[in-house]
Amino acid sequence: MELTSYSKADLTAFYDACKADYADYQAQGLKLDMSRGKPSPKQLALSAGLLDCIRSDELVGEAGDYRNYGLLDGIPEAKRLFAPMLGVEPDEMFMFGNASLQAMYFCISNAYSHGVLGGTPWSRLEKVKFLCPVPGYDRHFKITQYFGAEMINIPTNEDGPDMDLVEQYVQDPAVKGIWCVPQYSNPSGIVYSDEVVKRFAALKPAAKDFRIFWDNAYCIHHLVDSPKTILPILAEAKKCGNEDIVYEFASTAKVTFAGAGVSMLAASKANLADLKKGLTVFTISFDKINQMRHVKFFDGKFENVLAHMEKQRAELAPKFACVLDTLAKELRPLGIGAWTEPKGGYFVSFNAPKGTAKRIVQLCKEAGVVLTGAGAAFPYGVDPDDSNIRIAPSYPEVPELQKAMDLFVLCAKMAAAEKLLEA
């Protein structure tokens, strides 16, 4: 029976029983941080070979001595290795530093200080607006917030952002960009449909310096055998004569080492040349040795990157199963909440009954399990429904995760019951 159908007396009894269980959890002194999508130690161990896969004499590569200065846009060996991951040609990309977030920050920061492809610097405009499909990635929103953009929530459907709304908003010349995680969105895990990608590629915004920030962070992070993949945005945009509309980003943060991988930025040649004007002031070069380390570790073959991701999948899949099974078993019969069942990525997006997300996070915290803050997946950290919680199952091992999920569903039950009892 769904909880909403319970009598007042049954609901009170249900809540009291939950409270007793909760007291037991509190007594256990759990201590678990599930606030970020961090790889587990076992996942990180898969890349141990990176630490000694390269010899000094292998660092004189195709384009020179990679131990020395130079090659701002990266070594050709690494570009060839990772171009297929982004669905671009090697000359349509830069290798970047240890984090794609820095590349995104640079693009936004440079747009504010110097403008995009000859446009007015955004800092000189009265108003800059950014479209933010929600729920989304908090660190994206923090960049645009830091620079003072007005962020507009765009609802996300099962096949991507609400494109009618996107197409309507881009008529406003103050709208300068949109944040997208097209494959396994953070946190909803959805995959953009071909139609959505094509509509993005064909977008005709009023602002010529509007850019799609296409963060393809999880493009090869599958959890199933025959994953649905997305159309390559840059190629699609080219077909529409619209190739300048997108910056694409990716990294090996969740392929090899989080924070010590390599990252990439793909864009049209005009965009790359424009960005290079600033990048050449920003740095002499990124870490080419780490680029070559990745080339050696994967023997220069993208199929080896994909094989490596199968090992990652073997670690992650049981954890997602644990989360989804527990939610299905404990909450579905009671009709509490709704959640995504992602086929890849790093998160499960849980939508609690309206007005209960903060309470669930608080209850979990008080029993020793730290979740991502409720609202974090929304611009300004404000979820208008106080409903969304990002569950990040990657870090703990299954037994610990099971404990955390048991607590989570208990807290979800309590919060739901409290809400109903209030009413």
| Binding positions for a second copy, rule: CB under 8 A | 36, 38-39, 41, 44-45, 47-48, 51-52, 54-56, 65-70, 97-99, 101-102, 105, 109, 112-114, 123, 139, 142-143, 146-147, 253, 257-260, 278, 281-290
Q: Cβ atoms within 10 A of the Cβ of 183, count?
A: 26
b/e 271-299 (16+ beta carbons within 10 angstroms → b): bbebbeeebeeeeebbbbebbbbbbbbbe
CA angle 235, 102, 388 (to 5 degrees): 85
Q: How far is the CB of 313 from a second copy (least distance, A)?
A: 19
Cβ count near 394 (within 10 Å): 22
One-letter amino acid identity for 394? S
* Minimum CB distance to a second copy smaller for 33 or for 172: 33
Closest distance between a second copy and the C-beta of residue 159, in Å?
29
Contact 393, 34 (CB under 8 A): yes
Least separation in angstroms between residue 10's CB and a second copy is 45
CA distance 279 to 284: 8
Residue closer to a second copy, measured from CB, 151 or 245:
151
Give me the least distance between CB of 420 and a second copy, in Å please: 38
The CB-of-375 to a second copy minimum distance in angstroms stands at 18
Q: Between residues 269 and 277, which has the closer beta carbon with respect to a second copy?
A: 277
The distance of closest approach from Cβ of residue 380 to a second copy in the complex, given in angstroms and rounded to an integer, is 14
Nearest residue to 420 (alpha-carbon basis) of 344, 341, 353, 352: 353
**Start-to-end Cα distance in the chain:** 19
Q: Which is nearer to a second copy, 251 or 271 (CB)?
A: 251
- Cβ proximity to a second copy, 144 vs 387, nearer residue: 144
* Residue 102 Cα distances to 137, 162, 224, 250, angstroms: 15, 28, 30, 11
Residue 50 Cβ vs a second copy, minimum distance, rounded to whole Å: 8
Nearer to a second copy, 112 or 218 (CB): 112
Nearer to a second copy, 114 or 359 (CB): 114
The answer to whether the beta carbons of residues 117 and 265 sit under 8 Å apart is no
d(CA 320, CA 327): 11
Rounded to the nearest whole angstrom, what is the least distance from the CB of residue 339 to a second copy in the complex? 24
CA 164 to chain centre: 23
Q: Which is nearer to a second copy, 116 or 334 (CB)?
A: 116
**CA–CA gap between residue 176 and residue 171 (Å, rounded):** 10
